[in-house]
Structure 1
């Protein structure tokens, strides 16, 4: 018999993953735009919480608008959008190993770095760039990771995300990365507080069992897993066992929430 999820508590606000929940590849997932409209009509606050580290918030907002979503840049929370405050807090001056498209949202590259900030650099994860970052780390630099997702699903299929490259640098430099994005507890809690709510009043909806669902639950949030995006057979049972809800899509989850 499949395990039963925990009953939902009071939900004051939602955190919604983007890739795999709102859209997939080059099109919106059926019903997702209407789901956001329903949330606005019910005055349910939400933030779009994503580990995407290839584009800026402004670019992502524009792309979502092109898919039919009525969203603003201010409603999007990314690791890069909070990285500057964290690095400043720690006195870190970074060497950047990120995709060039993300640079407008990132801290400034330091002339004499004492840290490395890694995002999903895609094709820019070359030997030369990885080795440059490695040399900063073996001189005592601190490693910061915008995310450590293993993979994601694009229009052309599954692709490696930043996680495997972060792990390579950790292994080579014998260090451990400070995680900024999901599933970092601080990231979830910061996004909940941005709406003015406590973690337990906030629910995370995602397609990634580890980063979205289990990460949110560990941070004290409620969570729901959708069967879109990178969802795989077996994820539903594990999600329910951990206390999460499971829905076919964001649209189905929102229909049940606002009914």
Structure 2
């Protein structure tokens, strides 16, 4: 029985600044059915408060406590270990790490820094790693659907480069990290086996979720999805659906519920 829903954001609910058709209504239908919904994103170009504000502007009803971000997970990691971040992140994300100076150790934190990825910034991070800093990756996604409706290189390539050069594997804090999914599942208040994840990234959203014990994972054919992307997925998607509206249909049908309100 499905008792909770996790939703990715970019590529599932919106593309760039455009809400995907039926997305607002799909969330309403899921909530009206009695299902708790939480939102999990690997977006690291915007602070959490900015993501919530953006969603509100698009017409979504969501509270900050319902949204889980890699920067938030990284901040928790740093605080627990009295570590000061050496940031290689997008300028918009720096505020999420305020007040963490003066720790007893250092940790390189890499997100999608965009144009801040230069030889100088990467080399400075590399030197910090060689001097003994811990290595945190907010995510290791290969690419994302950019605001110009074309794929853009994501942070994963730069994380891999630093791993190769330093010989130190990164601790990944966003999807598909088990602890990241576990925190969202706890917030749903049900067992992981009773949760369904919906995303457009077959690696992080689908296979990654299933590997952590989440019961079902749906792959939508929107966002970064490419035909055949699921061919090498391990584990494979529970189902592949056209979009978030079709995902809501699938979830409600799986629960044996019929949405009585007009769509």
TM-score (norm 1): 0.91
SS of 1:235's partner is coil
Residue among 185, 192, 195 paired with 2:188: 195
**Deviation (angstroms), 1:146:** 0.5
SS of 1:114's partner is strand
Distance 1:120 1:245 in 2: 29
The residue aligned with 2:255 is none
The correspondence of residues 94-243 of structure 1 with structure 2, limited to 5 A, is 94-106=85-97, 108=99, 110=101, 114-156=106-148, 157-221=150-214, 222-238=216-232, 242-243=236-237
Distance 2:102 2:119 in 1: 21
Distance 2:22 2:231 in 1: 24
Q: Relative to structure 1, is the Cα distance of residues 86 and 242 closer, same or farther in structure 2, using a 3 angstrom cutoff?
A: same
**Deviation (angstroms), 1:236:** 4.1
The residue aligned with 1:7 is none
Distance 1:241 1:143 in 2: 28
Distance 1:12 1:105 in 2: 31
Confirm or deny: 8 A CA contact 2:12 2:200 kept in the other structure. yes
Confirm or deny: 8 A CA contact 2:69 2:174 kept in the other structure. yes
C-alpha offsets along residues 135-171 of structure 1, whole Å, 9 cap, x if unaligned? 1100111110010101100121111111011111111
**Deviation (angstroms), 1:90:** 3.5
Distance 1:126 1:240 in 2: 34
Is structure 2 residue 29 aligned with structure 1 residue 38? Answer: yes
The residue aligned with 2:239 is 245
Distance 1:111 1:126 in 2: 26
SS of 2:83's partner is coil
Distance 2:53 2:96 in 1: 15
C-alpha offsets along residues 28-57 of structure 1, whole Å, 9 cap, x if unaligned? 111111001111211211111000011112
**Deviation (angstroms), 1:128:** 1.5
Structure 2: gaps (5+ residues): 253-257, 259-263
Structure 1: gaps (5+ residues): 1-9
RMSD: 1.7
The residue aligned with 1:4 is none
TM-score (norm 2): 0.90
Distance 1:226 1:43 in 2: 22
The residue aligned with 2:17 is 26
Q: Relative to structure 1, is the Cα distance of residues 140 and 16 closer, same or farther in structure 2, using a 3 angstrom cutoff?
A: same
How many pairs are equivalent? Answer: 250
